[in-house]
């Protein structure tokens, strides 16, 4: 097994920080050390938990740099990587840019690889299929949905970007024209105080959302007698740029300074009328908008599933015990691994 060190070699281009032999600045790995199928987790400590579920003895690469830990191995014979993003969409932006570089830059030819369908493919160039990159975020979250069971999985369909990371990227025309994304953005702007924030809308790739749901069903169908089912809810994910005021939490003297103090209550009431039917806001967390939006721009397939550790609406407001969240995360990892190799 190879293990990357923290120091980096000479990087000539400040706008494309990568060494001549193809090691990227933050991800600290080379193209062939990162699989096409990737589980993204927030917590670096979760990387080992996922890697422990890989095929025995299959981990062939590990790297640790800042909050970005990577392990690459196989699951049921298919190459898979697990990579921690740390907290926040700003980190995710770094991660997706460097995944793009690792997947699509040809370091031997010093040029971007042509894609399937391109008219001019230089002789000998390796053609790239963007849909070969598949990513599932496995995280934790809070929920504004009054009927959300504690420790259930919130599976993302649409996404409300309450952060501003992806506002630095132009929206694809196809996304701009999407009636469903317009509906999500309209409802949020008209029916919540988020009109004061420049929210954007995006969507998980349907194949990933459906793949996660199918894996959840199979997981529950194959439980040993007496084992508890893993509950799940499909809905919209609201991604925040912080944990406290950005998710409607008022702490101490900050209480009087919140711009959107009723965020949870407002999100608990909205419903989107989208192609799939009525959709509620299932969860609030800190990475999914950037994972889905940036993947969509590149033609990569991405989605997200998070364990609800904080139930913030409904009759009882609760936080999971570490036992409850530990079991649900274990289930989530199993389900995500099955989904990522099946989609
Ligand atoms: C906040 O506690 C962190 O937990 C959630 C949020 O998105 C944020 O990163 O996800 P992870 O458990 O994946 O880190
Ligand atoms: N992670 C979040 O971002 N929010 C929560 O409420 C819980 C976990």
Task: Check if 286 has its Cβ closer than 6 Å to any atom of ligand 1.
Answer: yes
- Residue 174: pLDDT band with limits 50, 70, 90: confident
Token pair belonging to 251? 């702490």
Ligand nearest to the CA of residue 313, numbered in listed order: 2
- Residue 22: pLDDT band with limits 50, 70, 90: very high
In ligand 1, which atom is closest to the CA atom of 138?
Answer: 13
Question: What pLDDT digit, counting tens, does each position of 110-169 carry?
Answer: 999 999 999 999 999 999 999 999 999 999 999 999 999 999 999 999 999 999 999 999
Ligand nearest to the CA of residue 312, numbered in listed order: 2
Question: How far does residue 144's CA lie from ligand 2's centre (Å)?
Answer: 11
Q: Which of 286, 254, 258 has the alpha carbon at shortest distance from 197? A: 258
Statement: residue 291 has pLDDT above 80: yes
- Residue 301: pLDDT band with limits 50, 70, 90: very high
- Residue 5: pLDDT band with limits 50, 70, 90: low
Statement: residue 195 has pLDDT above 90: no
Angstrom distance (rounded) from CA 141 to CA 137? 12
Give the CA angle between residues 180, 181, 183 to the nearest 5°: 65
- Residue 186: pLDDT band with limits 50, 70, 90: very high
| N residues, the chain | 343
pLDDT of residue 11: 85
pLDDT of residue 6: 52
- Residue 20: pLDDT band with limits 50, 70, 90: confident
Question: How far does residue 72's CA lie from ligand 1's centre (Å)?
Answer: 22
pLDDT of residue 324: 97
From 237, 248, 291, 310, the mutation candidate for ligand 2 (largest count of ligand atoms within 8 A of CB) is: 310
Has the ipTM of the complex gone over 0.90? yes
Q: What is the overall mean pLDDT for the chain? A: 96
Question: How far does residue 310's CA lie from ligand 2's centre (Å)?
Answer: 7
Statement: residue 2 has pLDDT above 80: no
Angstrom distance (rounded) from CA 156 to CA 208? 9
Q: Which of 88, 102, 34 has the alpha carbon at shortest distance from 63? A: 34
Task: Check if 141 has its Cβ closer than 6 Å to any atom of ligand 2.
Answer: yes
- Atom 3 (ligand 2) nearest CA: 285
Token pair belonging to 282? 């299932």
What would the DSSP string read from start to end of 20-77? TT--BTTT---GGGS-SEEEEES-THHHHHHHTTSSTT---EEEEETTEEEEEEEETT
What percentage of the chain exceeds 70 in pLDDT?
A: 98
Q: pTM of the predicted model, to two decimals?
A: 0.97
pLDDT of residue 297: 97
Q: Answer yes or no: are the C-beta atoms of 95 and 85 closer than 8 Å.
A: yes
Task: Check if 142 has its Cβ closer than 6 Å to any atom of ligand 1.
Answer: no
């Amino acid at each position: 097994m190879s293990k990357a060190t923290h120091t980096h070699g000479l990087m000539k281009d400040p706008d494309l920080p990568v060494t001549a032999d193809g090691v990227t600045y933050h991800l600290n790995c080379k193209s062939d050390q990162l699989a096409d199928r990737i589980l993204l987790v927030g917590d670096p400590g979760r990387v080992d938990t996922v890697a422990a579920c890989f095929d025995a003895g299959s981990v062939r690469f590990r790297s640790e740099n800042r909050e970005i830990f990577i392990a690459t191995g196989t699951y049921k014979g298919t190459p898979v990587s697990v990579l921690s993003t740390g907290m926040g969409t700003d980190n995710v932006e770094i991660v997706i840019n460097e995944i793009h570089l690792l997947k699509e830059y040809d370091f031997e030819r010093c040029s971007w690889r042509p894609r399937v369908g391109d008219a001019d493919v230089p002789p000998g160039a390796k053609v790239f299929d963007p849909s070969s990159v598949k990513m599932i975020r496995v995280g934790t979250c809070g929920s504004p949905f009054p009927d959300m069971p504690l420790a259930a999985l919130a599976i993302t369909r649409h996404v409300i970007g309450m952060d501003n990371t992806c506002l630095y990227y132009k929206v694809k025309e196809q996304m701009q024209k999407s009636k469903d994304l317009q509906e999500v953005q309209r409802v949020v702007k008209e029916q919540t105080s988020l009109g004061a924030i420049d929210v954007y809308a995006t969507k998980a790739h349907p194949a990933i959302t459906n793949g996660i749901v199918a894996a959840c069903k199979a997981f529950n169908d194959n439980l040993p007698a007496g084992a508890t089912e893993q509950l799940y809810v499909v809905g919209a994910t609201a991604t925040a740029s912080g944990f406290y005021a950005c998710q409607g939490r008022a702490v101490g003297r900050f209480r009087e300074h919140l711009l959107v103090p009723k965020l949870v209550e407002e999100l608990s009431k909205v419903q989107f009328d989208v192609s799939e039917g009525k959709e509620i806001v299932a969860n609030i967390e800190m990475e999914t908008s950037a994972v889905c939006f940036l993947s969509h721009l590149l033609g990569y397939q991405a989605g997200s599933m998070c364990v609800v550790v904080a139930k913030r609406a409904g009759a009882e407001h609760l936080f999971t015990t570490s036992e409850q969240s530990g079991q649900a995360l274990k289930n989530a990892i199993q389900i995500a691994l099955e989904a990522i190799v099946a989609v």
